[in-house]
Each structure stands twice: as C-alpha cells, then as structure tokens.
Structure 1
Amino acid sequence: MIETTNGRTLKTTRTSLRILELVLEHDGLTLAELDAIVDKPKSSLHGHLATLLECRYLVRDGQTYVASFKLAELGDRARPVELETVATDTVERIAEDTGEEANFTVFEHGRLLLLHGSSNQAVDQEGDAPFRTEYYLHNTAAGKAILAELPRERVDRILDEWGMPREIEATITDRERLYDQLGEIADEGYAIIDEEFAPGLVAVGAPVHADGEIVGGLSIGGPKYRINMTRLHGELAAELLDAVDEMETALDA
C-alpha cells in the first residue's frame, strides 16, 4: 500500500481536507465552531467551506456544514469489494466460533482502517475499547504483526510520520523496545497486545496478504478477565492463523 509521495504538496488542499475531516469527526460544524479549532483566518475558512459546498462534498443545514451524500457515495466506491466480502465472512465466522470480538483492518498509509468488526458478546464495560475506525500500528495486535513483516526502513518511516503516542499506561513508546518485540513477533507469526490499546483489552493479530502484498490485519480479542494468555497464545492464535490462511487462499483464487 502507498505510504508517502515525494512530489510537491499543496497547503490549501491539505487545509480543505482537514476541514472535511473535522466536519465528519464532529458530525457537522458551523463556521464559528471551525474557527475555534483551526488556526486560519475566518475568511480563509469560509473560502474552503464555500469550495467544498460548491463541489458538493458538504451541504448546509442552517448554519451548520455537514458531509454530503456524494461523499458517502465516493467512500462506497473506494471500498475493496472482494476484500470486504472475504473479510466480512471471515470476521463473522470467527466471532461466532470464539464468542469474542474479531476485526479486519485495511493497511494503508501507515495506519489501520476498520473494514469490518463483529462481536457476539454482550457489551462489557470493563475491557471495551472506544469505538474507532482508524488505528496506530505500534499498539494494536494486527498493527504490530504487520510492522514485524516490514523492512526496518519502512517501519522507521511509519513511526517518523505517525509517532508512537501513549494511548494508555502500557502503550510502548520506545522504538528499541518495540523493535525487540517485532523480532519475537516475526518468529511467532502473530502479535499479542496486553492492555496496550485500551484498559482490560487483550488481542491477537496477524497480517493478511493478497498477491504477496500485505493488505490488512485480522485480529481476535476481548476483555482480559475472560481471555487469559494461555487461551490467547493457544486456541485464539490457532483460530486466527487458520482464518488468515483461508482469507489469503480466497483472495488469491
């Protein structure tokens, strides 16, 4: 997957895209609300909003700018249909077989983007991760497993771009310590996280390939009080690796 480009980039385009991301993140923003978030002249922000409105990426609801249906349509077109079908079937089966949460995330630009997730368990207050659609690699099971397969130079580029923010007490923020773990993960073929992403959450993850390239990561996890390390390294890791083999066979067919 593409990470970066070496070509010239435009600050104006970056600003427009950032505004679009903020509108999506906040489920709509007024000009005044956007002005309080983005350090740009209000006239400049208004120009970006007007352009996004004219190009039909935003619509207005009174004074509030919200994402348009056109944007949703573009998102649907961008979804990899074959990968989504295979991932959805696999994730749903794993969740049913294990009784735990399963997720497939796409690996793109040094981040993981949620394609499909499922859980057959009732909501747990302890051990539940906050719902997100985008993840770092350094503190997620699928992310670490992917990093373990990449050349060190590419890992360095990803960490240089996105950093290693501490999202919870146990999050690893030291590169050398992470590199030590990546060596062990490469030998195992899967990665484990132990409360590195959210309190009480443990998970096992592995990369998924298509035509020899990493396309994403599959993971199984849940609350630590229900999943001990023996089960994580044993039953769940075996279930995960079998599922990865099945996915890769289907994607390469």
Structure 2
Amino acid sequence: MLTSLIIGVLLMNVFAAALVVARAPVYRTRLYRPMLLNLVLSVAPLVVLGLAVVLVLPLIVVGVPRPAVWAVAVVLGLVWLLLLPNSGYLITELNLNHRRKGERVPEWYDVLLVLVLAMSGVLTTVLNVFLMVLVLLVVGGNDTAAPLAGTTARVIEGVLLVLVAFGIYLGRHVRLNSWDVKHPTHLVRKVLGHLRGPGAVGNAIGFTLLGAVFFALMYLVMIGPVVQGLVDVESVRQSTS
C-alpha cells in the first residue's frame, strides 16, 4: 500500500515533467523553464528526506547514541522543512499566465498541464509529511504502526501543513525563496514590511488557514487508508502470533 503511494506520486511528477517538456517540441513553442524549475524544487524535499533516511536509520541500527542521531536528524529536518513549501507551491501554477497572445498550444493542453502540475505538488507535499512522521516516530523509538493514528502524529501533521501553507504564501506574495534564509535579517525585514501593508495580515492568516485545511483534507484522503491498512495488518499479525 505504501509502495503504491510512493510510486503513484513519483509517476505523477514524471507525468507533469513530461507535459512541460513535450509542450515545446510538439507545438513548436518555447520551453517554459519556470515550470520545470518549480517542479524540480518540488521534488527536492523528497530527495533530502531520502538522504535523511539513508543516514539516520543506519545510525540507529548500529547503536549510535540517540543525541547524535537526533542532531543529524534535526539538521536534515530543517533543510527539508525549508524546502517543503516548494512542493505545495505548485498549486499556485493553476493559471494560464504562461500563455502568450496567439499561443499555438491548445488551451485544453495547458489546462491539463497546470492541473497535473498542481496535483503533483499536492501529492508530493502529502507524501513528504507522511514520510517525515514515519521517520520521527522511528527515531523516537516507535517500531509499530499504532502511533501513526495517534495524537502525536496528528499534531506533527497539523503543524507541518500550517507551515507549508504559510511558506506558500510567503513564496507567492512576498516572493521569498527557501535560500533567502541565508540572509535572515533581510528576510525578516521583508516579511514584516509586507505584513504592514493594508489587509496583508488578514490575507496571510486566511490563506494559511484555508491552505492548511485543503492539504489536511488531501492528507486524510490519501494517507488515512494507508495508516488504517498498516494498523489493521499489524493487529492481524499480533492476533495470529
């Protein structure tokens, strides 16, 4: 079940990339590079998370002290968190702003393109959050599926999805990038300057809350059955052992 989820998300990203790349030669128009760049940035958190798993799990297996394991996990986790809004950011591609006047590309193609692009971002975001919850529970010493349906997991998921939604707002409306964290003073000044604008605080809160609810519903639809399946399988195994 988990394998199908991961493969499905990866294939959706491949499909989105194929549509973006094929658009240029098929319809003899320019390659819209910003879409391709945003798609690459969308997948970046999964790459970092994969690196974290490759580094952290062996440390646990060989018995490295928990503080050292947590130190490595925290550093990689912060990098992952900074990159995570790039996945959800693809929902802001749901427009046809990339089309030129007299564009020879059929409108149906571009509608499908932006839809697939947005959905790839949503699916990637959801998968990222779920895998991070798995990693945190494993690092915390849990080796059963039951905690995935527990309060701790729900709190982690909720906090991450709120941060994702707020990060998307900062990216779209304040025009911030993940790497702007290298200049924290400028970043804070830019955010505060934006929030002082008329209605900016209300817009930020509204977008963040509604965006978090949207991602939470998608999370429920996608991850809920996976978690329930894992818990049920574990219960069956325990009852037959």
TM-score (norm 1): 0.24
Structure with more contact order per residue of length (Cα contacts < 8 Å, sep ≥ 6): 2
Q: Point out the structure with the larger strand share.
A: 1
TM-score (norm 2): 0.25
Q: Point out the structure with the larger helix share.
A: 2
